[in-house]
Chains A and B, each alone.
Chain A
Amino acid sequence: MEANILPSVKTQNEEIILSTKNASFFYHDKTAVKNVTLNIKKNKITSFIGPSGCGKSTLLRSFNRMNDLIPGASVEGDVYYKDQNLYKSSIDPVKIRQQVGMVFQKPNPFPKSIYENIAFGPKINQFQGNMDELVESCLMKAALWDEVKDKLNESAYALSGGQQQRLCIARALAVFPDVLLMDEPASALDPIATLRIEDLMNDLKEEYTIVVVTHNMQQASRVSDYTAFMSIDRDRIDERIGVLVEYDETIKIFTNPKNKETEDYITGRFG
């Protein structure tokens, strides 16, 4: 299946920060995602959409090697962060995860205070600066500071779901990453909290590159600059192998998709 690899419009300032080259992902002997080649641009929001089980999360998690934690997971092909091949043996995944942060589907703050949640990452790296300032600036960036500044020592679980998710974003920012991977960051939240997360993503792309997996097509069209549509390989439908179908600027994917399958999916006629 031919996928459109690169967004057609290229401006000179658009730098590529993450990319894959013929990357395939396996769980034990089963192929989860096959032959994905794509480039993700710096300081843009890129969304991965597609039906369940097409490997969006698998692809996302390869960018900070979180897949390593799943027994039996393996990779063929190349995944690059800047110019480093992430799956080369000399690469330490611990270091990569610091530069490529992650936010998960369900808010998962640590059962510690709000302050300690943010300070957790900097402490490992023996952060030498002023911790209070760092905590404040991360909470500011995550648009949470005004809501929590008077209760920094309270448990993170006293916050609402949406606040917890923004806390998780703030926590990820505290180790100074370049990239934020978000795995359906708003799917457990109500529409208002979802909008706040989306606003936040828009603010954050000034400084960070964001890659987001979402099941919500409105969300993809609202927040992202580029959209990758993934699906199940139609030629081998029983094996449920994920493939990249189309990748382009979000506006093109949603108004003028080149692929019939993409069109069916975004108009809700899929399957």
Chain B
Amino acid sequence: MENKSVILAPIYKDNLRNRKIIGKIFNILLLISVLAGLFMLTVLLVDIAIEGVPWLRPELFTNYHSRKPENAGMKSAIVGSFIVISLTGIISFPVGVGAAIYLEEYARKNRFTDFINLNINNLAGVPSIVYGMLGLVVFGRMFGLFSKDSWLVQTFSLPVQSGMVNGLVFNLFGIPWLEIHLPFGRSMLAGALTMSLLILPVVIIASRESIRAVPPSIREAGYAMGTTKWYVTRTLVLPIALPGILTGMILALSRAIGETAPLIIMGAFTYVPFLPNSIWDQFTAMPIQIYNWITLPQEDYRIHLAAAGIIVLLLFLFILNGIAVYLRNKFQVKW
């Protein structure tokens, strides 16, 4: 073949200086956008610290709400939040991870799974108050199926109670702590179930991302050894995906711990002067306690105690995020 290439002289406009300046400007703009967020967070933290730190006293953790600000604490709210969030984690982890495994590893790609995918993403964006209403109807009241005048109760003449517990109470095998209340009412269980619904889309999405990030070559290697899908999933995919799943899970829980709206709808109380004995008890939670204090007219509640409450809530958040980082590092697979 003949070589007919023509040699072209480089005819450039020398604009390297301009390109470097544009690069610098871009760099500074990016830095500003980082600092903007950081600045607002600092302002918030400093403001809250000034108002709240002097009120971080033992009473805050040992007392219930009181008519005197100097005696008021948030013991029941801390315990309530802790238990509700723990229950939420216990409920949403298996369900969320299970759904993620199904969608990533088992489901065929067809219109139906596309539809499910779309709706999981939609659900992640639904306002929390809507979940509150859903939880109230489904778990709190169970569509009124166990009220005195419902057809179910009338037909089978079920022994429903009214008063402290509205509805049916069973004892499984006669064991006192194996009680089941129908409907779930304003209980911690109903609150936790509602919170689980709220964070499930986030848990599913985070788990799926994490499962998808496991290299296909690892799955192939597993199958080539003569293993079943479940074995590959359990022994190869899940251990590799676990740090990401746990991180997503805990970040979702730290969203749930600050949620107020669904719990207000579910009927969590603002004044709970006792600690819960079981998951069927009524409860309050930290954001509700803070919200309650902010609505009171006295400055000590409205500003100082609320700020102290926010500090406690933030501490919980930081602890949760710390656990997330720890778990991620602990289970991190070394490549």
Contact = CB atoms under 8 A, between A and B. Distances in A.
Given A104-B221, A110-B218, A124-B231, A71 B226 contact: no
How large, as a class, is the contact surface on chain B?
A: 20 to 34
Interface in A161-179: 168, 171-172, 175
Contacts, number: 66
Contact of B226 (A98, A104, A157): A98
B247 to A, nearest CB: 18
Interface in B214-245: 215, 217-228, 231, 235-236, 240
A104 B231 CA distance: 20
B173 interface: no
Interface in B184-241: 215, 217-228, 231, 235-236, 240
Given A108-B218, A110-B218, A120-B235, A66 B224 contact: yes
Interface string A40-78: 000000000000000000000000101001010000000
B335 A101 contact: no
A102 interface: yes
A10 interface: no
Interface string A67-91: 0010100000000000000000000
Contacts of B330: none
B67 interface: no
A250 B251 CA distance: 60
A101 B220 contact: no
Contacts of B227: 94, 97, 121, 124
A111 interface: yes
Given A111-B334, A124-B231, A97 B226 contact: yes
Contacts of B223: 66, 69, 97
Contacts of B109: 71
B333 A111 contact: yes
Interface size class on chain A is 20 to 34
Nearest to A103: B224
Nearest to A65: B223
Nearest to B225: A121
Contacts of A155: 334
Contacts of B333: 111
A104 B236 contact: no
B215 A108 contact: yes
A196 interface: no
A108 B217 CA distance: 6
Contacts of A269: none
A173 to B, nearest CB: 11
A111 B220 contact: no
A108 B220 contact: yes
B226 to A, nearest CB: 3
Contacts of A175: 225-226
B224 A102 contact: yes
A106 interface: yes
Contact of B225 (A69, A106, A120, A157): A120
Contacts of A121: 225-227
Contacts of A110: 218, 221-222, 236
Contacts of B108: 71
A138 to B, nearest CB: 12
Contacts of A69: 219-220, 223
Contact of B335 (A102, A125, A157, A172): A157
Given A71-B109, A111-B333, A95 B217 contact: no
Interface of B: 108-109, 215, 217-228, 231, 235-236, 240, 333-335
7 contacts: A69-B219, A94-B228, A95-B226, A97-B227, A110-B222, A124-B225, A171-B225
